[in-house]
Amino acid sequence: SSIMKTKMYVITTMSNLHVGSGEYNMGVIDNLVQRDVLNNYPNINSSSLKGALREYFESGVPAEVLTSDRKSFVKEVFGSSPKDKKENMQQGKFRFFEANLLSYPVRSDKTPYMRAITSSVIKELLQKIEAFNIKIDETVSEALQALSKVDVPVGSPYVFKTELNEAIVEDFYLEARYSDIIGENHLSTLNQLFGQRFILMNSEDFTNLCDNNHLPVISRNYLENGESKNLWYEEVVPRFSQFYFTVMLDENKEEEFEKALEAGLVQFGGNSTIGYGYSKVQLLTSINLANYEN
């Protein structure tokens, strides 16, 4: 029999994401995004996540990347499709857990955007790494530990690049302050994870950023004979947001699974035809955002 191991992946959205909660708001916004029960942060629940990955493996992965037969690979990893005959039903070997918010981009006056993070999210990430016994590099673990211990006052987030000192977070009028509390070696590791310009916020400020009053809302309509038929409003999670999720995987399929993920963009949530939800999925320890931001 094969051995199961657990790994953690990070989703970086390359376009706006709308994973619908199926809830209609009686307020101004028609379609709300999914949120996790505990923190009420935007998330991607495990069935939406698994469905998106399944679809990617069924039709998105370039043919030369999958060495196995595609159909049997998909069935073994994800299980039977609802269309399969009853007697051929089979459970997938992998276990997929929901994707939680890791960082969220905010506009500022000094740079087009900074990635906001908060220590409560980092603490939860570390708890999951420990609970699931996930192997990550010591350097990454130590940098995250250091970050999780920083106490940020409400209303004045910290930045770690001197040129971002006094940057104003737009829409919130928060003024960032430069801090050198995180050592140089930890900083370079964190830059790989969150990019060069991340901003550490108090969790109260972070919660405000991504509540239903502040997520971007996009108006949608369809034209019939050039006439706009109906207008509805949809909440989106902006591009360059990051989520993380855990997978329990079968060692025999692990390498192929990861190669395939690296080979393309996975589309999460609805509205693929208008370019929503296209995302890069990478192993937590092999992200290097610092490279492509320069």
106-110, 210-214, 218-222 — most confident range: 106-110
Sorting pLDDT into bands at 50, 70 and 90, what band is 24?
A: low
Q: Which alpha helices (DSSP H) does 181-220 contain, by range? A: 184-194, 203-209
- pLDDT tens, position by position, 49-104: 999 999 999 998 988 898 889 999 999 999 998 777 777 788 999 999 999 999 99
Would you say the C-alpha torsion 227, 233, 238, 242 has a positive or negative sign? negative
Higher pLDDT, 288 or 240: 240
Residue 211: beta bridge partners?
none
Per-residue pLDDT, 233? 84
CA–CA separation, 21 and 34 (whole Å): 4
Look at residue 40 and give its three-state secondary structure: coil
Query: Over the chain, what is the mean pLDDT?
Result: 90
Interior angle at CA 183, CA 244 and CA 174, nearest 5: 65
Q: Residue 225: which pLDDT band, with cuts at 50, 70 and 90?
A: confident
Would you say 93 and 77 are in contact if contact means Cβ atoms under 8 Å apart?
yes
* CA 152, chain centre distance (Å): 23
Rounded Cα gap, residues 47 and 278, in angstroms: 17
Distance CA 264, CA 101 (A): 21
pTM, two decimal places: 0.93
Contact between 246 and 52 under an 8 Å Cβ cutoff? The reply is no
